[in-house]
Amino acid sequence: MTELFFKILHSSEVNRLSKIDSTFGIILRKKRLSKKLTQEALSIESSLSRAYISELEMGHKDPSLYTIFKLATALKIKPSTMIDEVERQI
């Protein structure tokens, strides 16, 4: 019984983390487009690769705190703004 409970708990936690990644990606894309930036332009401004930004926007990668700060700085917003929006949507 305990093993089954652990699998269910672990599965729901993995799903929650995936939802955070995909939600972050949606918000990142929305913020980027609102600033009329291409992925390439955001890449240059943030010093992150365009491919990495694409992976973030698709929810395939999870950003580190350092990455969130770099993106927020490039987008001229507070890092907490992005985190707050993710928190509200999940």
CATH number at residue 68: 1.10.260.40
CA-to-CA distance for 83 and 28, rounded, in angstroms?
Answer: 10
Number of domains observed in the structure of the chain: 1
H helices present in the chain, as ranges: 2-34, 39-46, 50-57, 65-75, 79-89
- Residue 9 is encoded by which pair of tokens? 């708990």
Residue 5 has a pLDDT of 46
Range of the domain at 7: 2-89
- Distance (Å, whole) CA 70 – CA 8: 35
List, for residues 18-55, the tens digit of each pLDDT value.
Answer: 899 999 999 999 999 999 999 999 999 999 999 999 99
Look up the pTM and report it. Answer: 0.83
